[in-house]
Chains A and B, each alone.
Chain A
């Protein structure tokens, strides 16, 4: 078996004394397209942040490309991340093309100026999200959906091997979301990059992903879409109290609760 791109073993995460993720064991193999589903507050964003080393688990091990997230060093160049919410100051005087270019800040090397290949990557990325015409606009003056597209372009400009997307289409109109997923699907097929996508859109998930993780503080279900996306499966995550799941070769015992507070 090849080393998984992401490997979590019994990972638990807490904010102060509140446990947000408990005993998560999950791996993502190269070229996989993992969809993460779960109700609000179920820990999806926290899971991505843990994978990126932005949040430290109090228990368990996290490996990305076989390394601890804090020790990825240059392997970080291979990871693109589109955050759900960004704390960006909208009054910041910066142009769209520079926002995208800064995605490559580390890749360019400390103290190095952008080269032609950097600018080309920026142009390509902006083209992919149809924002070329806005390259010289001030970032803060775009609409929410346009800003989200720019943040997607920023992740793409890295030409990543692993792309993590946290509800990337939440602010996109239907057409843009549709074409974005279309593009994502094709890129995944053609380039074989590994995708982790957090979404509430079950339709997208069932059509494109190769694996699903249902989260509600614990990993409620994990496996192939056709096994997980059953009526009971979704109910388990968003509703009733305890359900057994069998998927893949390994049967999993899965416990879920409506309210992650109560476990």
Chain B
């Protein structure tokens, strides 16, 4: 009986890890080349406010985090759009204020801190059936939208000015991309945690572009790397009883160095990724 329980548990974790790895990597390729990784870090930290809200209201924190992250993503987009603030300043403001809000909310509740840790640092083994359904729905939405608007997002990422000149609804696509980032981040926090999810957006994508000069192939490689990293993180954390989020991110980082090593001619790219990883860690 206990074995069976563990079996379904493990299955659920495996599906969750696959979804997380695949969707983060998919969006990540666009995020890296649009230079949006700092926004990713901003939205993921903002999710803390959303999760805390769920704890206070006694709703599944993933549900509240979805609404909250989408809202914050749109606010960042809107403040930048009206040109009052540079994007990084806008991210900085929402980053800190939503974290503060989360801390404030958490201080109102007593006793549930253990669960909260699972959101902050990720615990892929503690995913409920409802969590998994929410994750699958979000993942499906992200996949479908990217599939449908692939060339639009590609042009927006490659040359935003030309996207506007040719007549693409650039503003609209930007907000769509921010929404997809919010979805991706929320569906990933259970597995990798709020603190580390933005790393998973960047690292598989950064690794993949070491290996190919082809955008579609980069996406495929990134998804592969993302999924493999998440699986190894899952198994290592299950059998060695170590934190899943950290294991996943460290595995992905190891893969990144292997890919960089495999591609010695791409020095320029490496420098670029270097600065990206630095902004991630700061």
Contact = CB atoms under 8 A, between A and B. Distances in A.
Contacts of A89: 33, 158
A111 B168 contact: no
Contact of A102 (B149, B154, B266): B154
Interface stretch (B13-21, B95-103, B106-114, B211-219): B211-219
A146 to B, nearest CB: 15
A203 interface: no
Interface stretch (A18-26, A75-83, A215-223, A250-258): A75-83
B258 interface: no
B261 to A, nearest CB: 18
Interface string B236-277: 000000000000000000000000000000101100100000
Given A72-B167, A95-B214, A108 B151 contact: yes
Contacts of A83: 161-162
B162 A102 contact: yes
Given A93-B214, A93-B215, A111 B148 contact: yes
Nearest to A164: B165
A91 B209 contact: yes
A110 B167 contact: no
Nearest to A104: B166
A52 interface: yes
Interface in B153-187: 154-155, 157-169
B215 A88 contact: no
Interface extent on A, as a size class?
A: 35 or more
A94 interface: yes
Interface residues on B, range: 20 to 34
B131 interface: no
Interface class of chain B by DSSP: helix
A171 interface: no
Contacts of A35: none
Contact of A107 (B166, B212, B215, B272): B166
B213 A138 contact: yes
Contacts of A108: 151
Contacts of B157: 92
Given A105-B151, A105-B152, A93 B218 contact: yes
Contacts of B154: 94, 98, 102, 105
Interface in A138-195: 138, 141, 154, 158
A106 B168 CA distance: 6
6 contacts: A54-B161, A74-B167, A86-B159, A87-B160, A93-B214, A93-B217
Given A76-B165, A94-B158, A105-B166, A110 B272 contact: no
From A89, A103, A105, A111, name the one whose CB has the most chain B CB atoms within 10 angstroms: A105
The 10 tightest CB contacts between A and B, nearest first, are: A76-B167, A138-B213, A106-B167, A106-B166, A102-B155, A105-B155, A111-B148, A93-B213, A91-B269, A81-B165
Contacts of A111: 148-149, 152
Given A88-B159, A93-B218, A113-B151, 19 more contacts: A54-B164, A81-B162, A86-B162, A87-B160, A87-B161, A89-B158, A91-B268, A91-B269, A92-B33, A92-B215, A93-B209, A93-B215, A102-B151, A102-B155, A102-B162, A103-B162, A105-B154, A106-B166, A111-B152
A88 B156 CA distance: 11
A99 B167 contact: no
Contacts of A114: 151
A84 to B, nearest CB: 11
Given A91-B269, A93-B209, A105-B163, A110 B215 contact: no
